[in-house]
Structure 1
């Protein structure tokens, strides 16, 4: 495979894990654009500049982990929106039909206190 220096020049070093890999995707390729990798990398505490001196490739393992993280963040954002709108609909402690969580029978969503007296 050659030296570490050559691996960096030819794109075999992953930008995220810094491991030398045989199979990588270039961050500015069509495949990367179709996977929205640069958009997903923005969730990480790093910056990627097209003209910096760092590797411009990402390995398959990091792509899978990045995808899982991105999906988790999207799910959290969606859940937060649902929960906030759920609270807006409850002026009298009841869940109206318009509420996105109407019909869910989880006591933790209720704004009313437990009236069973089983404290």
Structure 2
């Protein structure tokens, strides 16, 4: 049986995929805070992270890329949905609703302009 004194860590355990990696981003480190990693995980992933939990606080670069791609995809889907709702004016569950933001008005106008050029 080996001793704990001879144990060698070969990297950090990724919080999301549980793989060991030598290069990670710490969720609450400078880079993790700069790219809003905690918010993107909490809001767009089925994972709860907290600075006080006892689980790893590092994410491998592959998972950082996955979180970023998922975040961008979900933002794009939400944006596209807003445009389609505005163009349709009566989406399911929103009949007779004029509760659209001015940002959605701008998006719809931009889309109409783009469609004219096609």
TM-score (norm 2): 0.68
1:49 alignment counterpart? 50
After TM superposition, list the pairs within 5 Å mapping 1:33-112 onto structure 2: 33-42=33-42, 43-88=44-89, 99-100=108-109, 101-102=111-112, 104=115
- List alignment gaps of at least 5 residues for structure 2: 1-6, 91-105
Describe the SS at the equivalent of 1:49: coil
What count of residue pairs does the alignment treat as equivalent? 91
- List alignment gaps of at least 5 residues for structure 1: 90-97, 106-119
1:19 alignment counterpart? 19
Q: Higher helix share goes to which structure?
A: 2
TM-score (norm 1): 0.68
- Indicate the structure (1 or 2) with the bigger Cα radius of gyration: 1
- Indicate the RMSD between aligned Cα atoms, in angstroms: 2.3
2:102 alignment counterpart? none
Distance 2:8 2:45 in 1: 30
Per-residue CA deviations over 1:34-86 (Å, capped at 9, x if unaligned) read 11111110211110111111000001010011111111000000001111111
